């Protein structure tokens, strides 16, 4: 071996010598040669090598394309066109070994490549580079490790808080607020829930008569208005007449609202299909490509499937999957049970004690109210995220899997929302699609301005939020209604800030603060104290 005057030139001597020029050392060597992939010693030292063998050996010690280390990388899958990354080059090495009569077990380590990989004369610094966390390079790196660290720290910190809470206060879980002795006697609510399918059947009969042209179109519209209105008023009256548990009332109201939304979609879709059919017969309109392959037929099976499917938008057929994955469904059910239990633990162990030790946020000390809201925000955020995961991801996917329902876009990446408007478009996709299909675009087609159409959509949402909370609590303070309607100015504010700063982080931080730090804890405190005051007066 001899080291030339140039620090970047390495000479290799032996029975047959091949020199590495400056061009051969443009990139340094990355890994030491693996035992199973390098050229054997007798091939490297053989004096009877052909010119092709010399070229192959030079390629073996040539760098793999990375110039930030001085170790050899030989015969590994990677970049095309080089040893250390090319299957073609690997084949040429194998051809050399096969010509020498060497099998797989005879291929050993090339000592020359390993011996000269760490020469002191080989440059360690070859070009300008940025640190991984510098502003120019930070988003080019993978931060999966830091994300894992955040998860580990989050689990560790919350585990400590749980242990500390249990040691200080003991086991606080009681079911009196959610379930009471009268919860088992809430049979009127159960019977009301079991009788809700009467309304879809009534709508089916009306649509069948309309298809047969047995009744006029105004009569069809009037009957559907009566059916849909009764479907929402009937559960409200049952809950108000019965002193039921809060959770039982909320469950019934959610079912009633879902039935109402599905009925409206069913009626509106069939009405539109009849209108398109009449326009086509008269030659006033040409059916679009999306409607030409959908026959207007009224089927009880399609209605029954729609009423249990995880969607609020009716159509005669849906994208379907091939089979049901039973093992997958079982795993999701286990997750659903675990996260539901976690929600109950957080509510009873953390949220209930905080709200019980609080004052009415609008009637007490301002600083004390702010402290309570901030203290309540973290457990409330955990419950909200668990609720989202349990319902929108686990439960709706389980239902879709059992029904072979194909379209499972129940939510989008709402956590990246830059404005409040984006959040409402991505948070609850079944409701969003219903709003767009049956409220927003019909308003636009009837000449309603876009801004007014958005306000109408939020108004409908606010009414149903208030119904689902106020009716089970037997009080109408309109906090949920006001909270939803305040989203309209927030949409304008966040859109303005997003256009002004051109930074997604500003709108996203405002969204998280308004929903998780301020809005939800404040509404929870307001409804809790109003409910406790009502119960106190009743007693």
Distance from C-alpha of 293 to C-alpha of 42, rounded to nearest angstrom: 73
Largest CA distance in the chain: 106
Asked if 432 is an active-site residue, the reply is: no
Distance from C-alpha of 367 to C-alpha of 165, rounded to nearest angstrom: 24
What is the chain's alpha carbon radius of gyration, rounded to the nearest angstrom? 35
Catalytic choice (268, 432, 438, 465): 465
**In sequence order, which ranges of 198-286 are alpha helices (DSSP H)?**
198-211, 217-241, 246-282
Nearest to 377 by CA among 515, 485, 531: 515
Q: How far is CA 415 from CA 154, 333, 385, 421, 510, in A?
A: 18, 24, 10, 13, 12
Helix/strand/coil for 180: coil
Distance from C-alpha of 539 to C-alpha of 530, rounded to nearest angstrom: 14
Helix/strand/coil for 237: helix
Nearest to 404 by CA among 294, 319, 308: 319
Which tokens in the block code for residue 159?
Answer: 């585990």
Nearest to 122 by CA among 40, 53, 63: 63
Distance from C-alpha of 267 to C-alpha of 204, rounded to nearest angstrom: 9
Q: Which residues pair with 10 in a beta bridge?
A: 3, 20
Strands 2-3 and 10-12: antiparallel
Q: Which residues are catalytic?
A: 465
């Amino acid at each position: 071996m001899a080291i030339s005057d140039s620090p970047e030139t390495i000479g290799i001597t032996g029975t047959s010598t091949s020199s590495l020029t400056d061009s051969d050392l443009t990139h340094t060597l990355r890994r030491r040669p693996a035992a199973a992939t390098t050229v054997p010693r007798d091939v490297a030292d053989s004096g009877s090598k052909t010119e092709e063998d010399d070229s192959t050996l030079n390629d073996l010690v040539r760098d793999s394309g990375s110039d930030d280390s001085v170790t050899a990388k030989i015969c590994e899958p990677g970049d095309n066109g080089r040893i250390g990354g090319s299957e073609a080059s690997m084949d040429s090495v194998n051809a050399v070994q096969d010509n020498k009569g060497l099998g797989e077990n005879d291929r050993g380590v090339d000592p020359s490549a390993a011996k000269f990989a760490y020469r002191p004369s080989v440059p360690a610094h070859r070009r300008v580079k940025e640190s991984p966390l510098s502003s120019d390079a930070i988003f080019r790196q993978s931060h999966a490790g830091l994300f894992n660290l955040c998860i580990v720290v989050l689990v560790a910190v919350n585990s400590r808080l749980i242990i500390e809470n249990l040691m200080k206060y003991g086991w606080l879980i009681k079911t009196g607020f959610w379930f009471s002795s009268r919860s088992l006697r809430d049979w009127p609510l159960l019977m009301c829930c079991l009788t809700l399918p009467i309304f879809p059947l009534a709508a089916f009969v009306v649509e069948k008569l309309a298809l047969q042209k047995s009744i006029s179109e105004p009569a069809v519209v009037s009957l559907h208005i009566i059916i849909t209105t009764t479907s929402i008023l009937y559960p409200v009256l049952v809950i108000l007449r019965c002193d039921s548990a809060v959770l039982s009332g909320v469950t019934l109201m959610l079912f009633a609202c879902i039935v109402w939304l599905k009925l409206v979609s069913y009626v509106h879709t069939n009405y539109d299909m009849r209108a398109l059919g009449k326009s086509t017969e008269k030659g006033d309109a040409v059916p679009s490509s999306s409607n030409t392959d959908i026959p207007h037929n009224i089927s009880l099976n399609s209605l029954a499937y729609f009423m249990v499917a995880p969607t609020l938008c009716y159509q005669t057929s849906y994208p379907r999957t091939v089979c049901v994955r039973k093992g997958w469904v079982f795993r999701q059910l286990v997750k659903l049970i675990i996260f539901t239990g976690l929600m109950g633990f957080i509510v009873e162990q953390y949220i209930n004690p905080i709200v019980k030790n609080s004052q009415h946020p609008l009637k007490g000390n301002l600083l004390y109210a702010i402290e309570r809201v901030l203290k309540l925000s973290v457990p409330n955020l955990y419950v909200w995220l668990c609720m989202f995961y349990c319902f929108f991801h686990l439960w709706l996917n389980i239902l879709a899997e059992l029904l072979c329902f194909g379209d499972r876009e129940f939510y989008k990446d709402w956590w990246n929302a830059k404005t409040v408007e984006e959040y409402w478009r991505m948070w609850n996709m079944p409701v969003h699609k219903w709003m767009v299909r049956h409220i927003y675009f019909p308003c636009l087609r009837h000449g309603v301005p876009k801004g007014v159409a958005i306000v109408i959509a939020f108004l409908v949402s606010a009414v149903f939020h208030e119904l689902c909370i106020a009716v089970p609590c037997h009080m109408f303070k309109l906090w949920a209604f006001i909270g939803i309607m305040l989203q309209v100015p927030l949409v304008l504010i966040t859109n303005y800030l997003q256009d002004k700063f051109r930074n997604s982080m500003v709108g996203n931080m405002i969204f998280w603060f308004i929903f998780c730090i301020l809005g939800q804890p404040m509404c929870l405190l307001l409804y809790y104290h109003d409910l406790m005051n009502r119960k106190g007066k009743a007693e």
